[in-house]
Amino acid sequence: MTEKEIIDMANQVGFECTIHKQFTKANTFVEVGTSVQGDFASLNQFAKLVAEKEREECAELIPPQYFHFRDWIRARGQE
């Protein structure tokens, strides 16, 4: 997962993500860090989103002829 995907998921569940930028001598901005604020409920939802995305990425790696393994991986999130 990319950093942008992680930040998007965090924002999706209610975290407040702030990307801190600094102006350089070359008249450009560079990212110097990200701060995140939220509560435990948001953290729990975030963990579920990350796990769901990871399961889907794993399922997509399995060849189509083994579709039952894809279904098994995706079903793990339904328990």
pLDDT in tens, 46-65: 999 999 999 999 999 999 99
What is the Cα–Cα distance from 15 to 28, expressed in whole angstroms?
Answer: 28
- Is residue 75 over pLDDT 90? yes
pLDDT at 31: 75
* The total number of structural domains that make up the chain: 1
- Is residue 44 over pLDDT 90? yes
Domain holding 72, by residue range, is: 3-78
